[in-house]
Chains A and B, each alone.
Chain A
Amino acid sequence: MLDRELKKGSAELLILSLVEEQPRHGYDIGNLIERRSDGVLRFNVASLYPLLYRLEKRGWIEGRWVEKAGQRRRRYYRLTAAGKKVLAAQRSSWREFVEAISRITGIEHA
């Protein structure tokens, strides 16, 4: 498991990326992070939701209660216009960061 600090720094980027494709609810987001990282990255309720609320408060994502036939209502988060810009900026700085690390450590990224 990655160090807590590293996880926190990258967590915003992960969430923003996931809701970019389509609106998702909290469990979905947590699940996708775990599955796509093959279990390396895991968020539990205690860390995921405060993060979601913070992003929402900053206006980067927006949560809405959505009701579907035969289901309980769920809160879906989608990327806002402001969120899109933040995501682009974070992506490029993350890329630069990873490339810099690679050049120094000689680790090739896949």
Chain B
Amino acid sequence: MPDWKKEIGGRLSRLGLPPTREAEIAEELAQHLDDRYEQSRQGGATKEEAYRAALLELTEGDLFARELGRVERPAGRDPIVPGAQRRTNLFRDLWQDLRYSLRTLVKNPGFTAVAVIALALGIGANSAIFSVVNTVLLRPLPYKDPDRLVMVWEDDTKGGYPRDTPAAANYVDWRAQNQVFEGMAAMADTSFNLTGAGDPERLEGKLVSADLFPLLGVEPQLGRAFLPEEDRPGGNRVVLLSHGLWQRRFGSDPKITGQPLTLNGESYTVVGVMPPHFRFPGEEAELWAPIAFTPEEAANRGRHYLKVLARMKQGVTLGQAQAEMSTIAARLQQQHPDQNKDLGAAVTSLHEYVAGDIRPALLVLLGAVGFVLLVACANVANLLLARAAARQKEIAIRVALGASRFRLIRQFLTESVLLAALGGVVGLLLSLWGVGLLQAFIPQSISQVKAVGVDGKVLVFTLLVSLLTGLIFGLAPATQASNFNLNETLKEGGRDSAAGSRGNRIRGLLVVAEVAVSLLLLIGAGLLINSFLRLRSVDPGFRTDNLLTMEVVLPETKYSEHAQRAAFYTDLLRRVEALPGVKSAAVTTNLPLYPQGNSISFSIEGRPDPATGRKPTVVTRVISPQYFSTMGIQFLQGRQLNEQDRADSPAVAVISETMARRFWPDGDPLGKRITPGRADSTDPNDWITIVGVAKDVRQFELNAEPKPQMYLSYEQAGFFEPNDLVVSTSVEPLSLASAVRKAVWEVDKDQPVSNVRTMEDILSGSIARQRFSMLLLGVFAGLALVLAAVGIYGVISYSVAQRTREIGLRMALGAQRSDVVKMVVGQGLKLVLIGVAFGLAAAFVLTRVMSSLLFGVSATDPVTFLVISLVLICVALLASFIPARNATKVDPMIALRAE
């Protein structure tokens, strides 16, 4: 019989029908022609005649094709099977992939939710920390050309102060001699008592060079900055207001400039108001006045109290500026061997000055959240791998339909990037909330805290992190899924075990990685917690409970005589001690744990001053007699100061044990005499007799070793004024605040009181930075631990599910439940132990970067390493025990029947 299909096919081909339909039509028509041929032959026709008769049926070929074309649909409108097509069109394919991915995700809401939550936690934590890093470390300071702004310090490394506040004379010389700076400005802390209309108020202020504001490139919002002639003695009764003070105290009065203000009992003229957000980094101030050095002050090299800002000339580098300043400092050392011995100069960028303290902590945290995200990625990758195994058949069909490997990988990556994008959106919402939380924890000393927020840079960062995340966790499942053996999959008839040992190995590797990274984070957190506990357990040398503190700063103008001030304190302390609930009260120049304070240099009787170089210095506090008992500072030797140590009696001092040890290492300091003047002085009024030795206190920071210190009586020492009142109470300290305030106003109704705090607040404020790093790293490590536990649980559960038959068989053959548990938990334990080994190795290397954050603990503290590893192993065992117990519930009969 003739082969009609060729004739028919030729006519059909033009229509471009779907191949299956074309085959069907060809078959039907060929039969028809067969029948026709057969009939002709039976009617007696020759083969030739019959063939032609049959072919006649197909004449009018045009008509046939045209008619058929109207009826039949051309191919290409078949249901879309991604990857089954040969032609590629990037954007249409992408759109296809996206729709397909979205459908797949919607179809598995449980999977999608778990993955999105894990990713959102990881991405959200990253965005939140990045927004802090962005604000504190990356965003330029709000001044003109902030990159050229530097701080200049005295470098007294030998004396223990590598960044010391310069003395006025050194500043004046630096300024006159340098060639590298466009300008240099000094500022000093001060405070003003504002009286007149309304309650008396104590305001933090700054004395500044007239050129500070032009140097920063900031102009007042209202009025003008200081004029050069106002920066001279006599012309300096002018003041600039902060925007906040102007609003709060003066109701944003637009006519404020030119008006008089009573500050410290003297009249000042307001010349301007600064813009709303202006502040000098790290310095709170509500008022600025010209510093106006007197000629004596401008020649003083002994009082180190300034902060010096400078602007480098265009093109000058930090290194050049440092070199120039070192040269000048060396010259000053030669010119003033007594006062400038060993005194260098240090130049630091303003940015480093602002962010320097918190930078290591933030970088460690940024690294930590990165690791948290990696753990989240590993988890999601694991989920995807398990799902890819279940999708083997789908993939096989697509491959059979002609999908290329590249196309499959792309489809999988589209899915994972889409997941990551969802996670990114949710994560961004989380980070908005997280930034709010962070602001509560960031130490207040970080000046830009209030400005922390989510801006464009954070959005871009989140977007990039999300995309990268999607690619990272999508790659493993994608290559894994596309790289399988079509034949094998089809042969196995869709049994899920097709994922095979390779999939299990990848899942195992991911768990190992999760465990390793979590361990690294946990060890980091453990070291910080350890440090923090040690810091908290440092004996500050005084008690912190039931102490109320406040600042009472007497204006010099009103209390110009030392006797007046002493009388004020005596009266105040008497009244406060009479209050119910008060055990004792005292005043001091500076409370402990305050980063600044006075020091004086001194000579010891019978020991000649060094021919060159500076005399030893000692931290000096001027106190009232009850200070030691009020603060609970222990006494070691001699007597305390008392009421008999009056202005007209011989001057006495109590020294700290460190001072005693340093200067009288093998003798008794009691009765020895020292002087702030010259060692050869014969004036008995110059000499101070040591009458007692007290235990050390931590003067500046909990984690800084105590420096030599002495205490002088407020009645005898007129050169430093007590500012801080401290009250020991038998009741909750803050409950007495208003009573103590009232006592102050009974003595002087115009006297402001400020900074009312408990000693515990001061202590906890002094370690806010450490608490911040510890809490955050702790939270991140906890997050990683939970994610890792979930990951282990997932992998072990999956493997138990895969091995149901095997377990059933074992139990049918007599395995005990404990054997099954041992087998399954053992599998988990193996992964965990490998992970722990890698984690320990990584931690050993990486925790070194955080050594500057640690206190009293080495970065490779073996106890921390051991304890944390055990904790992690226990959690991991628990995570694999749950699926193991489920495995023992396998009914052998059911498990075997499933075969």
Contacts and interface: CB of A to CB of B under 8 A. Distances in A.
A54 B66 CA distance: 13
A46 B61 contact: yes
A59 to B, nearest CB: 13
Interface string A15-54: 0000000000111001100000000000011110111011
A42 B28 CA distance: 19
A81 to B, nearest CB: 21
A44 B60 contact: yes
A27 B31 contact: yes
B58 A49 contact: no
A67 to B, nearest CB: 13
A46 B57 contact: yes
A45 B67 contact: no
A66 B851 CA distance: 84
A84 interface: no
Interface string B170-204: 00000000000000000000000000000000000
B57 A57 contact: no
B842 interface: no
Q: Which of B28, B33, B70 has the most CB of A within 10 A?
A: B28
Contact of B32 (A30, A50, A57): A30
Given A27-B35, A45-B58, A75 B67 contact: no
11 contacts: A27-B31, A27-B35, A27-B36, A44-B56, A45-B57, A46-B60, A46-B64, A46-B67, A47-B64, A47-B67, A54-B70
Contacts of A26: 28-29, 31-32
Interface in B34-70: 35-36, 39, 56-61, 63-64, 67-68, 70
Contacts of B32: 26-27, 30, 45, 49
B29 A50 contact: no
Given A46-B60, A57-B71, 14 more contacts: A27-B36, A30-B32, A44-B56, A44-B57, A44-B58, A45-B58, A45-B64, A46-B58, A46-B64, A47-B64, A49-B25, A49-B68, A50-B67, A53-B68
Interface of B: 25, 28-29, 31-33, 35-36, 39, 56-61, 63-64, 67-68, 70-72
Interface string A49-65: 11101100100000000
B472 to A, nearest CB: 51
* Shortest 8 CB-CB contacts between residues of A and residues of B: A50-B67, A46-B64, A45-B57, A44-B57, A27-B35, A53-B71, A46-B60, A27-B32
Main secondary structure of the interface of A (DSSP, over half): helix
Contacts of A45: 29, 32-33, 57-58, 64
A30 B61 CA distance: 17
A49 B59 CA distance: 13
Interface residues of A, number: 18
Nearest to A65: B24
Contacts of B64: 45-47, 49-50
Nearest to A27: B35
A25 B72 CA distance: 19
Contacts of B57: 44-46
A11 to B, nearest CB: 11
Contacts of A27: 31-32, 35-36
A91 interface: no
A47 B61 CA distance: 9
A46 B61 CA distance: 7
Contacts of A30: 32
A27 B35 CA distance: 7
Nearest to B36: A27
Contacts of A54: 67, 70-71
Contacts of B61: 46
B28 A75 contact: yes
B31 A53 contact: no
Contacts of B58: 44-46
Interface of A: 25-27, 30-31, 44-47, 49-51, 53-54, 57, 72, 74-75
Contacts of B71: 50, 53-54, 57
Contacts of B36: 27
A25 B58 CA distance: 18
Contacts of B72: 53
Contact of B59 (A44, A50, A74, A75): A44
Contacts of A51: 67
Given A27-B36, A30-B32, A74-B31, A47 B68 contact: no
Contacts of B29: 26, 45, 49
Nearest to B67: A50
Contacts of A31: 35, 39
Nearest to A44: B57
Nearest to B69: A50
A25 B29 CA distance: 11
A53 B60 CA distance: 18
Contact of B31 (A47, A57, A72): A72
Contacts of A50: 64, 67-68, 70-71
Contacts of B31: 25-27, 72, 74
Contacts of A75: 28
Contacts of A49: 25, 28-29, 32, 64, 68
Nearest to B54: A45
A46 B59 contact: yes
A72 B28 CA distance: 10
A25 B57 CA distance: 16
Nearest to A63: B28
Nearest to A30: B32
A20 B33 CA distance: 24
B74 to A, nearest CB: 14
A66 to B, nearest CB: 12
A44 to B, nearest CB: 4
Which of A50, A57, A72 has the most B CB atoms < 10 Å from its CB? A50
A31 B57 CA distance: 12
A52 to B, nearest CB: 9
A71 to B, nearest CB: 10
Nearest to B38: A27
A54 B71 CA distance: 6
A53 B71 CA distance: 7
Contacts of A74: 28, 31
B28 A46 contact: no
A30 B36 CA distance: 10
A51 B72 CA distance: 11
A30 B67 CA distance: 17
A47 B35 contact: no
Contacts of B60: 44, 46-47
Nearest to A54: B71
Which of A27, A31, A46, A57 has most B Cβ within 10 Å? A46
A45 B61 CA distance: 10
A32 to B, nearest CB: 13
Contacts of B25: 49, 53
A104 B28 CA distance: 43
B28 A47 contact: no
A27 B63 CA distance: 19
A50 B72 CA distance: 9
